[in-house]
């Protein structure tokens, strides 16, 4: 079976890997001219960690990753005002926990299929026509081609979803925050293995020190207006406007941003699709990862869920011997309830990132300090750090 997968982020390459392993013929199409390696540091644990293990990725992920030791909140003068040790979280995840740059996870996953799965960079699906015999796909640049199935793994702003299910506005739930991340060289100061964050009411900037003299930054800010500029210069200008009056290292971080050529900038949103209308599936087309069920940055698990969804979809296609309607139905039945829970949990976490009032900020910092007590850490994160999903074995 020939399967076209749109999007080479995290979900797309993972699905390609498992489909190829199960004897399918995947083709990956990515609109960017090369693999996109931007983004912030992500915490990786739970069932996503188990999939990485099954793909043989763990040694590389552990090598590229970081065992973060501390989350530290500072005030406008850089004084340590709150925080907690990450050790208790690592223990709760039974040591199957690592933090790594999203770009490194993307590169490692892609490394598993590079040269083995047909991959087209710099192109995108323009039209999708389904018939009983297959799917006829027209591309923006390449010649039209026929496939048996099409999978949209093209992220929050999925083209496949728009073409097959309708406009993004029908499915996107904007959570009232914008996020941006970038990386720079030779930034000072450095604090190894510490997430340092400076929070003002409704906005936060965080810094993470990496190997090879690299440093990563993450901005998050509340904004009622969901729109944002598409071009790099205006995105930088918006961040300067938002953080220009900030204390701590804001002025020098904004100077480093001026020199950056790659910036990840997006809304913090969830994608909620309607189970009454086929959820993520229409005929021979289905969706995975953020395209289907974006849980948002607030869940801290988007990449893991993208990998788990890809594993289950590929496995169900194998189990159903290519009977795609059966496989798509099982994939959804099994995975949708789990994802829905994660989306709800993410909403509960919204206030942790950039509390919208002084009182909420005070309580967040107090909560961080209380995490030093083991039973409070268990209470706050215990449920979240152990995925109740039992991964099926498809081989
Ligand atoms: C550059 C980048 C940086 C990110 N940084 C962060 C971060 O710092 N924090 C965070 O929480 N999340 C971040 N994300 C989102 C995070 O990667 C996802 O939430 C999660 O990994 C789910 O992965 P996914 O594969 O479903 O989607 P994504 O990782 O978003 O991948 C989607 C892929 O599809 C491609 N694509 C989009 N439209 C088309 C099209 N029309 N045709 C073909 N290909 C298309 C994109 O270029 C991208 O490579 C980032 C995503 C990207 C692309």
Centroid of ligand 1 to alpha carbon of 259 (angstroms): 23
Is the model's pLDDT at 329 over the cut of 80?
A: yes
Is the model's pLDDT at 51 over the cut of 90?
A: yes
For residues 273-296, average pLDDT: 96
Question: Residue 349 contacts by C-beta under 8 Å, 6 or more apart in sequence?
Answer: 298, 299, 300
Distance CA 376, CA 380 (A): 6
For 198-240, what is each residue's pLDDT tens digit? 999 999 999 999 999 999 999 999 999 999 999 999 999 999 9
**Atom from ligand 1 closest to the CA of residue 32:** 47
Is the model's pLDDT at 384 over the cut of 70?
A: no
Which secondary-structure segment (H or E) carries 50? helix 46-54
For 294-323, what is each residue's pLDDT tens digit? 999 888 889 999 999 999 999 999 999 989
Per-residue pLDDT, 386: 64
**Atom from ligand 1 closest to the CA of residue 218:** 8
Distance CA 74, CA 197 (A): 6
Per-residue pLDDT, 299: 84
For residues 269-293, average pLDDT: 96
For 165-198, what is each residue's pLDDT tens digit? 999 999 999 999 999 999 999 999 999 999 999 9
- Residues lining ligand 1, CB < 6 A? 6-12, 29-32, 36, 38-40, 102, 124, 153-155, 159, 181, 264, 289-291, 297, 302-303, 306
Centroid of ligand 1 to alpha carbon of 102 (angstroms): 9
| Residue with CA closest to ligand 1 atom 10 | 297
Nearest to 389 by CA among 348, 347, 340: 340
Is the model's pLDDT at 385 over the cut of 70?
A: no
- 3-state SS, 110-158, equals HHCCCCCCEEEECCCEEEEEECCCCEEEEECCCCCEEECEEEECCCCCC
Per-residue pLDDT, 377: 72
Centroid of ligand 1 to alpha carbon of 154 (angstroms): 7
For residues 374-386, average pLDDT: 68
Is the model's pLDDT at 371 over the cut of 90?
A: no
Centroid of ligand 1 to alpha carbon of 327 (angstroms): 25
**Atom from ligand 1 closest to the CA of residue 156:** 30
Centroid of ligand 1 to alpha carbon of 38 (angstroms): 9
Q: Rounded to the nearest 10 degrees, what angle do helices 232-243 and 250-258 cross at?
A: 170
| Residue with CA closest to ligand 1 atom 42 | 124
Per-residue pLDDT, 284: 98
Q: Which of 45-49, 334-338, 384-388 has the lowest mean pLDDT?
A: 384-388
| Residue with CA closest to ligand 1 atom 27 | 155
Percent of the chain residues topping a pLDDT of 70: 98
Per-residue pLDDT, 374: 73
Is the model's pLDDT at 350 over the cut of 80?
A: no
Tokens of 253: 């971080």
Is the model's pLDDT at 94 over the cut of 80?
A: no
Is the model's pLDDT at 89 over the cut of 90?
A: no
Is the model's pLDDT at 96 over the cut of 90?
A: no
Whether the model clears a pTM of 0.85, i.e. scores above it, the answer is yes
**Atom from ligand 1 closest to the CA of residue 36:** 1
């Amino acid at each position: 079976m020939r399967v076209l997968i749109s999007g080479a982020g995290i979900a797309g390459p993972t699905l390609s890997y498992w489909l190829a392993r199960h004897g399918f013929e995947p083709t990956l199409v990515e609109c960017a001219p090369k693999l996109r390696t931007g983004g912030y540091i992500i915490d990786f644990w739970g069932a996503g960690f188990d999939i990485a293990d099954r793909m043989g990725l763990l040694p590389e992920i552990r090598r590229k990753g970081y065992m973060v030791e501390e989350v530290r909140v500072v005030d406008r003068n850089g004084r340590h005002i709150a925080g907690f040790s990450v050790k208790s979280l690592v223990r709760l995840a039974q040591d199957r926990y690592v933090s790594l740059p999203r770009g490194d996870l993307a590169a490692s996953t892609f490394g598993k299929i590079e040269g083995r799965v047909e991959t087209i960079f710099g192109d995108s699906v323009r039209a999708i026509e389904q018939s009983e015999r297959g799917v006829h796909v027209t591309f923006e640049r390449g010649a039209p081609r026929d496939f048996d199935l099409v999978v949209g793994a093209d992220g929050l702003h999925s083209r496949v979803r728009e073409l097959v299910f309708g406009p993004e506005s029908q499915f996107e739930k904007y959570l009232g925050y914008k996020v941006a991340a970038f990386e720079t060289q030779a930034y000072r100061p450095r604090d190894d293995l510490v997430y340092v964050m400076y929070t003002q009411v409704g906005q936060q900037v965080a810094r993470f020190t990496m190997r090879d003299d690299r440093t990563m930054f993450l901005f998050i800010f509340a904004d009622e207006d969901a729109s944002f500029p598409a071009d790099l210069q205006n995105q930088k200008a918006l961040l300067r406007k938002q953080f220009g009056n900030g204390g701590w290292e804001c002025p020098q971080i904004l100077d480093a941003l001026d020199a950056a050529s790659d910036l990840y900038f997006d809304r913090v949103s969830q994608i909620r699709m309607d189970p009454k209308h086929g959820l993520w599936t229409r005929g021979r087309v289905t969706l995975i990862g953020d395209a289907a069920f974006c849980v948002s940055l607030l869940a801290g698990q988007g990449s893991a869920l993208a990998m788990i969804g890809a594993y289950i979809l590929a496995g169900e296609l194998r189990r159903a011997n290519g009977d795609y309607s059966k496989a798509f139905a099982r994939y959804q039945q099994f995975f949708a309830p789990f994802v829905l829970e994660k989306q709800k949990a993410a909403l509960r976490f919204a206030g942790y990132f950039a509390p919208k009032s002084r009182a909420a900020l005070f309580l967040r910092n107090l909560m961080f300090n209380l995490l030093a007590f083991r039973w409070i850490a268990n209470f706050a994160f215990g449920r979240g750090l152990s995925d109740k999903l039992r991964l099926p074995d498809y081989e």
